[in-house]
Chain A
Amino acid sequence: DQQVKQNSPSLSVQEGRISILNCDYTNSMFDYFLWYKKYPAEGPTFLISISSIKDKNEDGRFTVFLNKSAKHLSLHIVPSQPGDSAVYFCAAKIGRDSNYQLIWGAGTKLIIKP
C-alpha cells in the first residue's frame, strides 16, 4: 500500500505559467513533508519542505501548501522556467530523531514547454 501518492506521472506546462504538482498521503502520523527535484542521471536534490503544523511555506518561486484535513499537499512553481523540467518527488517523514524514515511518492515528471 502506497502511503504517499503522486497520481500524475507527468505534467506539461507552458514556460512562464504556474506549475502545480500534487501529492496525497494516508498516514496522519507524518509530521514533515519534503519535495525533491531530480534530473536524469543525477540524485534527488532537496527543494522545499513544510512542517505538519503549518499550511504554507514559500521559498522564491516555490511554494508548498499543506491541507491536513484532506491529507494533501501541493507544490506551486511560479513562474515556470525551462530549468524546472525534472522529476519531482514528494516525501513524508515519520518517526523521531534517529528513528525516522522518509516515505517517497513515485514522482511526477514536469515538462516546461518554451
Chain B
Amino acid sequence: NAGVTQTPKFRILKIGQSMTLQCTQDMNHNYMYWYRQDPGMGLKLIYYSVGAGITDKGEVPNGYNVSRSTTEDFPLRLELAAPSQTSVYFCASSARDRSNQPQHFGDGTRLSIL
C-alpha cells in the first residue's frame, strides 16, 4: 500500500539549476497538491490539481511549474533554483467525493539551494 510516493528524498542544487520533484499516488485520487514547509512555519500551498489536465496556483506559486498529464502523477518543476526555494516539499492527494476528505501526504523532499 504505497499511497503517495515522492522522489528524491534529498537534493542539493546550485543557484540557477533546474529540477523536477516527482510525485505519484496509487489511490486513484483526483485532487493533488504541492506544499512547501519552511523551518518554524506551517505548510504553504504552491499548486494544486483537481484532475488530469487541470492545475491551479496556490498561495506561493512563483518560481514553480506543474503539470498533470495522468491521475497518478503530479511533478513539480523548479526552472531557476534560488536560495529562497530551500525548503521541504510535500506532495499530497485526496479523494474527490467531498471536499472534507483528508489529504494524504508523501514523506517529502528536502531541497537545499546553494
Residues of A in contact with B (beta carbons under 8 Å apart)? 2, 4, 9, 32, 34, 41-46, 49, 51, 89, 91, 93, 95-98, 100-107
Question: Which residues of chain B are near A45, meaning CB under 8 Å?
Answer: 104-105
For B39, give the chain A residue with the smallest CB separation.
A106
Docked-complex contact A107 and B42, CB < 8 angstroms: yes
Docked-complex contact A43 and B41, CB < 8 angstroms: no
Docked-complex contact A44 and B105, CB < 8 angstroms: yes
Stretch of B14-22, B77-85, B95-103 lying at the A interface? B95-103
**What's the minimum C-beta distance from B92 to chain A, rounded to whole angstroms?**
7
Q: Do A49 and B100 form a contact, CB below 8 Å, given A44-B90, A101-B45, A105-B42?
A: yes
Docked-complex contact A34 and B102, CB < 8 angstroms: yes
| Bound-complex Cα distance A2 to B44 (A) | 11
For A48, give the chain B residue with the smallest CB separation.
B102
Docked-complex contact B103 and A32, CB < 8 angstroms: no
Docked-complex contact A93 and B42, CB < 8 angstroms: no
Q: Do A106 and B42 form a contact, CB below 8 Å, given A34-B102, A49-B102?
A: yes
Docked-complex contact A46 and B102, CB < 8 angstroms: yes
| Bound-complex Cα distance A104 to B4 (A) | 20
| Bound-complex Cα distance A45 to B79 (A) | 30
CB interface residues, B 56-99, toward A, < 8 Å: 58-59, 90, 92, 99
Docked-complex contact B108 and A43, CB < 8 angstroms: yes
